Structure 1
């Protein structure tokens, strides 16, 4: 990245909270939003999930539910900075295409962004668009946000995603692959759902203090993803970590990194991959490397995981519970994209 990006605010709706403040307070407190969910097939069976409590009318269809989640989180993010939607570029990450998400079985994904804009009640900047790539896409495009913010008429970028794995289609797919947490698999994932966004700007704002600075971002594609028959050796995650560190100029270096925020979801595969990559990347001796896992509170939230990791890192600085001033956000997508972002307290940055 040519210069740092600044996180000025954000928004979220998760099983742990209906806005950013509630969600981050639940993560800080180490609360769990897990609950038992009755499956349609096989009838009477149950699965542990992390589900947002809501009125049934908001879940009329899977499409409506994703729109409602995204709109609520976006409005929360806009309110956190009093941003003007007309000068704000909305970058929205959708559930990865290979999943053929239930929300898009009868509706064309190309109309999803317009549906969200209507739900928010106003137009966003014309450069707004959707992305594929899952959770890691929110991190992988950070270097492009610097260029977007340099365009005339653009004051902020609202970057994030929306997803729900709490649907019969995804649960059946994960169950068939033996990837769900249960009595017979302690190292599985818990399906969750969320929408999360960070509000980015190119420089600190004297009117509203920024939450964190992003100094670098890297990404790479993992050939041996969890969808293949081979175990990952962490090559792509290592490349993403190195990419986040390269080109940061006078920014933090590897010895300065004090803790990690990861979207690791409890699967054996993700744990092995991350441990292999970290052992190759972190060369400075440390007594310990604290790691925050938001999935312990909200489960696997798919495309929303990247922005949620940035929000947790930012909150740790502003709320004073970070073990140090510099963090690395590590984010993995199911289909293989890996991304990392070097984040610091604004004062240290």
Structure 2
């Protein structure tokens, strides 16, 4: 996948826009707060105690469903346009790839006990969400170039494969790639609590729910440089894998995640020495922690992973589902731009609960020049 570069970033999160949020995350800052609309019973005091989450207050206050996601998405896309100095009229030959999350957890929740018949969970964002984002964001992206993917965390690797194909064939000049997710809807929180995925007073090893929209723009390197674009990362490769075990079928042995990470690292085996910056969606769930730990054991022979710098976006932003992959890209690219990545390469590894895993490698285009200083 050589020849593809990241030329813009956009984020709407509990920590604000992409520059502010990534700086705050690096400093270990978060804005977790009590969610007054939902709580769990504390057995010690026999009363309902609000859970903590990472909301994009006040951006999403008072909005639900697709309206909430439109608020997140338009804010993030506006942030991307400002970051990359793109004007809306320049987007006529641009594709939009949007990941909105799968229905895996909803299906598990609906099929398990605890939900009365006739009260189904929300079906999730509709495929018209991309159209709404273009309409409200004033983006003249042709309808034929708006693509919606219903994948989870690993979806960023899937999308990159398709986007690179369009760019290689010169069908488009650039691709806007992103994800939107909110785990703060009441019905969603009820389902997550029932599945014992949420961090509550009675389940301290769950995750904190969050919400975010994250986007980045991808272009071919030559025309991007020709127009003087802001180039802060090069896409090296992507990798996908699957394993039979999912979140509710038994403990993960890390095979799928290790395969995705190892396959991605193969692309830089001969050109890189020393540790890489690793970003993974470890979120407080013991199942994912087991997967992460066993994957590292399987990859113990890789010198690049013996003492890696590891960052976990959910620590700062909460669980953001389909938005986590693009959010991790934003964090890695900002680390390159501000020279604190500590490595010329970033490995982004994403685990989805249904069994799919994705990984990608980014390279800092300024690294060689920095080393010569």
Bigger radius of gyration, 1 or 2? 2
Q: TM-score, normalised by structure 2?
A: 0.84
Once the two structures are superposed, the pairs formed by residues 137-216 of structure 1 within 5 Å of their partners are 137-152=155-170, 154-203=172-221, 205-206=224-225, 207-216=228-237
Q: How far off is 1:185 after superposition?
A: 3.3
Contact 1:9 1:199 in 2 (8 A): yes
Could you say which residue in structure 1 is the equivalent of 2:76? 73
The within-5 A match list for 1:329-340 is 329-340=348-359
SS at match of 1:25: helix
User: Is it true that 1:94 corresponds to 2:97 in the alignment?
Assistant: no
Distance 2:139 2:155 in 1: 25
Q: Which moved more, 1:147-156 or 1:296-305?
A: 147-156
Alignment partner for residue 110 of structure 1, among 127, 133, 139?
A: 127
Runs ≥4 in structure 1, deviation > 6 angstroms?
none
| C-alpha displacement of 1:134 | 1.1
Say whether the 8 Å CA contact 1:89–1:154 is kept in structure 2.
yes
1:218 counterpart residue number = 239
Within 5 Å, which residues of 2 pair with 1:255-334?
255-285=273-303, 288-334=307-353
SS at match of 2:76: helix
- Per the alignment, in what secondary structure is the counterpart of residue 92 of structure 2? helix
Cα gap change, 1:252/1:308 in structure 2, threshold over 3 Å: closer, same or farther? farther
Partner Cα separation in structure 2 for residue 38 and residue 168 of structure 1: 11
RMSD: 2.5
Structure 2: how far apart are the matches of 1:80 and 1:310?
Answer: 15
Contact 1:215 1:343 in 2 (8 A): yes
Which residue in the other structure is 2:249 paired with? 229
Match of 1:27 among 25, 28, 33: 25
TM value normalised by structure 1? 0.89
Aligned partners of 2:125, 2:131: CA distance in 1, in Å? 11
Q: Which moved more, 1:235-244 or 1:161-170?
A: 235-244
- State whether structure 2 residue 260 is matched by structure 1 residue 240: yes
Q: Which runs of 5+ in 2 are unaligned?
A: 41-46, 108-118, 369-373
How many equivalent residue pairs?
Answer: 342
Structure 1 residue runs without a partner (length 5+): none
Using the alignment, how far apart are the partners of 1:282 and 1:260 within structure 2?
A: 14
Label 1:144 to 1:245 Cα distance change in 2 as closer, same or farther (>3 A). Answer: farther
Residue 272 to residue 55, structure 1, CA distance change in 2 (3 Å)? closer
